[in-house]
Structure 1
Amino acid sequence: MNTPTSEMLAEKILRGVGGPENIESLTHCATRLRFQLHDGDKADQAALDALDGVMGTVPQSGDRFQIVIGGAVAGVYSDIMNLPSMSGGGTPRPQSDAEVKAEIRAKGRGRFAWLDNFFEYLSDSFRPLLGVLLGASLIIAIASMLDAFGVVDFRAADKSATWVFVDSMWRSVLYFLPIMVAYNAAKKLKIDPWVGATVMAAVMTPNFTGMIGSKTPGVTTTTNATLGTSESVAHVFGLPMQLNDYGGQVFVPLLMVALLALVYKGLKRVFPENVQMVFVPFFSMLIMIPMTAFLIGPMGIWAGNGLGTGLSWLNGNAPIVFAIVIPLLYPFLVPLGLHWPLNALMLVNINTLGYDFIQGPMGAWNFACFGATAGVLLLSVRHREKDMRQTATGALAAGLLGGISEPSLYGIHLRFKRIYPRMLVGCLVGGLIVGILGGVDTKAFAFTSLLTIPVFDPMIKYIIAISAAFFTSMALVYFSDYRTKEERAQVNGERDAAEAAAKGEVSAPARTVPAQTVPTEERELVAVGAAPAATTGGPASAGSAGAGVPAARKGLELAAPVAGRVIGLGEVEDPVFASRALGEGVGIEPADGHVVAPVDGELITVAETGHAFGIRTTDGTEVLVHIGIDTVKMNGKGFDVRVEAGRKVSTGDLLAEVDLGAVRAAGYSTVTLMTVLNTADMASVEPHTGQDVTAGAPVVTVRR
């Protein structure tokens, strides 16, 4: 069977979103391709969802469109960007005033477009940092493990230079996070990202932070005797400026860049294009650095502390409620990308309180999610579901080792509605245990995986909670199944038929095979009808001349698309065709490469590689002509296609000229297959085998 290459997937995704001319920009995160399209309505969501390698799609307001790929997203992104048609990275075009106004109006098409934009801003400011945040969290986990085993005391004041250096390896990410966030936020708002980074860096230099608590002239420091805290104020240009350490802050850069974007774009309208490179960054820095130091910085600190204090109050006064609410919220926030504000609060808590109390309950959600995936994996092994076993194995590895839930969510959970309720029970159990045991804290920002368990305190409470969440979800999914009884019976029947056909034990028609078991190029042609068709079974469909069919019933004759020897599908060396997963029909060992239309109708599909054609007749009969086996891998070499999709054809019209010698030289079978895709809708499909025919001679009779 044919396996689609990553390049083929990239091309099909590109077609699915409306082609390169419909793409304004493309980025990716840990699991998703993120398109900004010129016209979101041109994206073919159904076709994209059907592709092998695509876990799901998420249309958004403002012509944004997400395609969930999973762990292979970086490779798919690279393949798309390396396609010749994407050499420009997208197709921004000059717009008239009317078009600009229309675009602004269009961005409000979603009911809550402003909310969408807000969360997109937050998400895109953090998403590119996933890799370094994950790297830092693993370094913290290793350090905590060494600390737990008594190798070194990481909290000691007199640590050696070696361990101080190890500290710097993970603290670098958290301390300089504001600069990184400022860079990403500025890029998201389409201004110079280095200006955003520079403005944030100005209030993090040793010159600035060195004034805190110092005796520098103009700096006064006061101490709050009650709280035991101190506050430094510098008098700059005669104005009081509160001094803060902005390391690890995230609200400050988010607020700052939002205002910087207005200033930057305003300055671009003021200065002529030929001097913008000098004066726009200069005046942006001149305006925004003081604005950040005097106003935005203190406001951001206040906002972050306020939100953290509010959640801390809830955690302190109603810990059980807090511990239950957090894991029950995350399953609905993560698929929409709305979990980033809570992640930002975790960083604020660590920076201001020295610890975070959100990640502990959040771990209950993550492990409930991974437990549900484990339940699916066990069922896929039990029921011999190869595709689901592969999907679940990859998703579970990404979760348990990396703490990433998207492959589980998009690859499995959101596809089967029975999983979510069972997973939520696991979230509830884990959160309840965290609350009853008094909460779980951590002094580090860590992705909740098996490797980061040591960073949570008390660790034993955390282990109990996440274990309960994991095994509760796993047991509920495993014992009640993620499919209904009817779905399970159908899928198992299809599996048995496919396995028997692969072993050569079945020549009779099989039941419908799920789309994911059909080779991708055939699946594209199956779109001619509703789905891969089951055959009707019985002697008539197996080749008898109308046994059991009233003689008066007139049939539709399908002609041979090529001259040659007609054989039954059971003799074909391809288990999908041999099992009749693509309908009843015939194979023809061709005498020449002259391929013609077997019936009057419309060409619904013409494979770009020229190896397959889909035709629909006026009465709805759907016919597939497939030239050779695995010939899609020839990428069109030796195939001279003479028609295009959408054209009306008559029996005998030339479809393609094929160099059979080139096909054989490439090591592929030349047998040409013709099947009725919607065989299940017919009274009978009668192949006439064991004869030598010329192109155009009748070889299949279809009766309704």
Structure 2
Amino acid sequence: MSIAGVLILPQVIQRGDPGEVVHFFGIPIVLASYTSSVIPMIVVVWVQGHVERWLKRTLAASIENFTTPFLILLILPSATLMTIGPVTMAFSAGISGGVEWIFEASPWVAGAVMGGLWQVFVMFGLHWGLIPIMINDVATLGYSVMKAPVVASVIAQGAAALAVFFRLRRDHKIKQAALPSGIASLLAGITEPAVYGVNLPLKRPFIIACLSGAVGGAVTASGGSAADNLANPSLLSISAYLNHGNFVVFCLGVLISFLLAFFGTLFFGIPRSAREEEQPQELSEDLDSGIPAQPVPADKKVVDADAQVVPAGVVVPVAVDEGNTTDLVAAASGHAVPLSEIEDPVFSSGAMGQGLGIRPATGADGSSDAESPTGAHPGRIVAPISGKLTAAMNSGHAYGVRADTGVEVLVHVGIDTVQLDGREFTPHVTKGDTVTAGQVLVDVDLPTVTEAGYDPTVITIITNSDHFSTIEPRTGIDLAAGDLTVVVER
């Protein structure tokens, strides 16, 4: 800021307007006015960055902090007035003159390029290289011919977004964004929501809008239109183009870009499949005719529908598609409870995923109301699913298993039991092992854990629950380790 301030000192401005020659240590310098310049400031800051880095590498660390800014302020202001300022001003004048010449020699070509590719420039950030030229033109010439075709480009993107709103039927998310983003583009000149949220994802509307902007840009440039201020290009700022060129031709170019983009997108920008509402499949009135007959195995018999009554409390296994369903077995013997009853918000909130807890019996004799047929006691923790052991804590209180079906399961023994630091835990597996459902993971001395004041609830969590459509835990019943406890469906 200090270096840039030197360029607009009253003494510099006073002598720079007439181009007065001054002498600096005998060296003649022609001062220029920098009050309306942009590029010299940018170049000075760029040079300052290089000089500052060089000084920090060269100077001793003990004097670097105060010597670096001192030398920069001593050297760069003089260098700017002697070399950087005059050179960049000449460069700026050359660029402005070149752009002016292109628009005078072939305005429709220049307008078509600007109007057609402006949004592409914006996507890649290349427009930031053109904006300083526009600012410099307005500051030095009083107008910028480059801004007129940009209006056509902006209006075309907004018109395409509006057409998407009226035509699109399938993708309701894009349709909802189309109307406000189209209005924002037309009235405020803000095209990012229309481009990135509507037109570009659908591809065709973006291409049609770019082509329409090229046609409209060619027309506006052919009329010699130019902006005398830096207002955002939109319908509300068209008064900025009244004083330069043919305003009627300018308005005609903007209208052409709107109509081409709107009707082009309306008729050609949306695929037929996306223009039609999804129709629900109709069910056949004759349901029997729509269900193919299934052969009955020799060892099975057909039972009337009225006779298919299942007594309460009896679990009936149902055949399902094995590729879409994964069964989890109980990791311990005990009473199954929902996660909401776990006295730890990390689990009870469901933030880690869906699942259940098992409260094992913790008698000193190891007895349990839900004894496993294999004789497993409450302190024997087994794998709830077959797969690879992705985690096995050194403390023995937590294990992670990833099944081949993609289900990822966490078995957490007790609450805050990590503080036991492995005491009362006897692990039987290590990380990287392949385990089968029901295989022993760890033996725990639950009575001792309980006496130490820790909740011994064994928690089973499907950590990637959001990848599955249905997760059905069996809670409110007594289970033995190895019993079916959770059904997961994609």
TM-score normalized with structure 1 length:
0.45
Distance in 2, matches of 1:290 and 1:370, equals 49
Cα drift, residue 355 of structure 1? 0.6
- What amino acid does structure 1 have at the position aligned with 2:230? F
Match of 2:165 among 370, 377, 385: 377
Match of 1:456 among 241, 252, 275: 241
Gaps of 5+ in 2: 282-315, 339-353, 361-380, 392-398, 419-429, 443-460
Residue in 2 that maps onto 1:559: 328
Matched, 1:238 2:26: yes
Alignment size in residue pairs: 376
In structure 2, relative to structure 1, the CA distance for the partners of 1:593 and 1:401 (3 Å cut) is farther
Residue in 2 that maps onto 1:208: 12
Distance in 2, matches of 1:474 and 1:614, equals 55
Tell me if the contact between 1:622 and 1:676 (Cα under 8 Å) persists in the aligned partners: no
Match of 2:407 among 609, 614, 623: 623
Matched, 1:251 2:55: no
Q: Secondary structure of 2:130's match?
A: helix
Distance in 1, matches of 2:163 and 2:104, equals 35
Matches within 5 A, 1:122-271: 197-212=1-16, 231-271=19-59
- What amino acid does structure 2 have at the position aligned with 1:558? D
Cα drift, residue 456 of structure 1? 2.1
Residue in 2 that maps onto 1:425: 211
Matches within 5 A, 1:10-21: none
Matches within 5 A, 1:497-512: none
Q: Secondary structure of 2:28's match?
A: strand
Q: Secondary structure of 1:322's match?
A: helix
Distance in 2, matches of 1:561 and 1:452, equals 69
Q: Secondary structure of 2:22's match?
A: strand
Residue in 2 that maps onto 1:293: 81
Matched, 1:313 2:101: yes
Residue in 1 that maps onto 2:91: 303
Matches within 5 A, 1:605-684: 616-618=402-404, 621-623=405-407, 650-651=436-437
In structure 2, relative to structure 1, the CA distance for the partners of 1:617 and 1:403 (3 Å cut) is same
Gaps of 5+ in 1: 1-196, 214-220, 222-230, 498-542, 567-586, 606-612, 628-637, 656-670, 680-684
Q: Secondary structure of 2:51's match?
A: helix
Tell me if the contact between 1:687 and 1:701 (Cα under 8 Å) persists in the aligned partners: yes
Q: Secondary structure of 2:238's match?
A: helix
Distance in 2, matches of 1:672 and 1:265, equals 53
- What amino acid does structure 1 have at the position aligned with 2:231? A
Q: Secondary structure of 2:29's match?
A: strand
Tell me if the contact between 2:159 and 2:186 (Cα under 8 Å) persists in the aligned partners: no
Tell me if the contact between 2:159 and 2:262 (Cα under 8 Å) persists in the aligned partners: yes
Match of 2:264 among 473, 476, 480: 476
Q: Which structure is richer in relative contact order (CA contacts within 8 A, separation 6 or more)?
A: 2
Match of 1:410 among 191, 196, 205: 196
- What amino acid does structure 2 have at the position aligned with 1:308? S
Matched, 1:346 2:130: no
Superposed CA deviations along residues 506-532 of structure 1, whole A, max 9, x for unmatched, are xxxxxxxxxxxxxxxxxxxxxxxxxxx
In structure 2, relative to structure 1, the CA distance for the partners of 1:687 and 1:443 (3 Å cut) is closer
In structure 2, relative to structure 1, the CA distance for the partners of 1:418 and 1:564 (3 Å cut) is farther
Distance in 2, matches of 1:359 and 1:600, equals 65
- What amino acid does structure 1 have at the position aligned with 2:14? G
Cα drift, residue 591 of structure 1? 7.7
Distance in 1, matches of 2:415 and 2:180, equals 37
Cα drift, residue 305 of structure 1? 0.9
- What amino acid does structure 2 have at the position aligned with 1:276? E
Cα drift, residue 481 of structure 1? 4.3
Tell me if the contact between 2:208 and 2:269 (Cα under 8 Å) persists in the aligned partners: no
In structure 2, relative to structure 1, the CA distance for the partners of 1:318 and 1:614 (3 Å cut) is farther
Superposed CA deviations along residues 620-660 of structure 1, whole A, max 9, x for unmatched, are x2337799xxxxxxxxxx99799x999966536899xxxxx
Superposed CA deviations along residues 238-268 of structure 1, whole A, max 9, x for unmatched, are 3221221112312212222232233222222
Q: Secondary structure of 2:23's match?
A: strand
Superposed CA deviations along residues 401-450 of structure 1, whole A, max 9, x for unmatched, are 442333333333333333332222221231132144x1321111122133
In structure 2, relative to structure 1, the CA distance for the partners of 1:277 and 1:326 (3 Å cut) is same
Matched, 1:275 2:63: yes
- What amino acid does structure 2 have at the position aligned with 1:599? I
Residue in 2 that maps onto 1:337: 125
In structure 2, relative to structure 1, the CA distance for the partners of 1:205 and 1:365 (3 Å cut) is same
Superposed CA deviations along residues 650-688 of structure 1, whole A, max 9, x for unmatched, are 536899xxxxxxxxxxxxxxx999989589xxxxx9999
Tell me if the contact between 1:623 and 1:676 (Cα under 8 Å) persists in the aligned partners: no
Q: Secondary structure of 2:407's match?
A: strand
In structure 2, relative to structure 1, the CA distance for the partners of 1:336 and 1:639 (3 Å cut) is farther
- What amino acid does structure 1 have at the position aligned with 2:82? F
Match of 1:440 among 199, 214, 225: 225
Residue in 2 that maps onto 1:327: 115
Tell me if the contact between 2:387 and 2:401 (Cα under 8 Å) persists in the aligned partners: yes
In structure 2, relative to structure 1, the CA distance for the partners of 1:398 and 1:616 (3 Å cut) is farther
Residue in 1 that maps onto 2:396: none
Matched, 1:387 2:173: yes
Distance in 1, matches of 2:160 and 2:415, equals 47
Cα drift, residue 486 of structure 1? 5.4
Residue in 2 that maps onto 1:30: none
Identity of aligned residues (%): 25
In structure 2, relative to structure 1, the CA distance for the partners of 1:397 and 1:615 (3 Å cut) is farther
Tell me if the contact between 1:426 and 1:470 (Cα under 8 Å) persists in the aligned partners: yes
Tell me if the contact between 2:111 and 2:220 (Cα under 8 Å) persists in the aligned partners: yes
Tell me if the contact between 1:603 and 1:648 (Cα under 8 Å) persists in the aligned partners: yes
Distance in 1, matches of 2:268 and 2:478, equals 54
- What amino acid does structure 2 have at the position aligned with 1:623? V
Distance in 2, matches of 1:413 and 1:270, equals 52
In structure 2, relative to structure 1, the CA distance for the partners of 1:358 and 1:640 (3 Å cut) is farther
Tell me if the contact between 2:148 and 2:221 (Cα under 8 Å) persists in the aligned partners: no
Superposed CA deviations along residues 476-497 of structure 1, whole A, max 9, x for unmatched, are 2333344x455677x947xx79
Distance in 2, matches of 1:641 and 1:331, equals 58
In structure 2, relative to structure 1, the CA distance for the partners of 1:305 and 1:654 (3 Å cut) is farther
Tell me if the contact between 2:185 and 2:234 (Cα under 8 Å) persists in the aligned partners: yes
Tell me if the contact between 2:468 and 2:488 (Cα under 8 Å) persists in the aligned partners: no
Tell me if the contact between 2:330 and 2:484 (Cα under 8 Å) persists in the aligned partners: no
Cα drift, residue 473 of structure 1? 2.0
Cα drift, residue 294 of structure 1? 1.4
- What amino acid does structure 2 have at the position aligned with 1:622? G
Distance in 2, matches of 1:235 and 1:409, equals 54
Superposed CA deviations along residues 367-401 of structure 1, whole A, max 9, x for unmatched, are 22222222333345x44x44324443553354344
Tell me if the contact between 1:544 and 1:686 (Cα under 8 Å) persists in the aligned partners: no
Distance in 1, matches of 2:435 and 2:194, equals 46
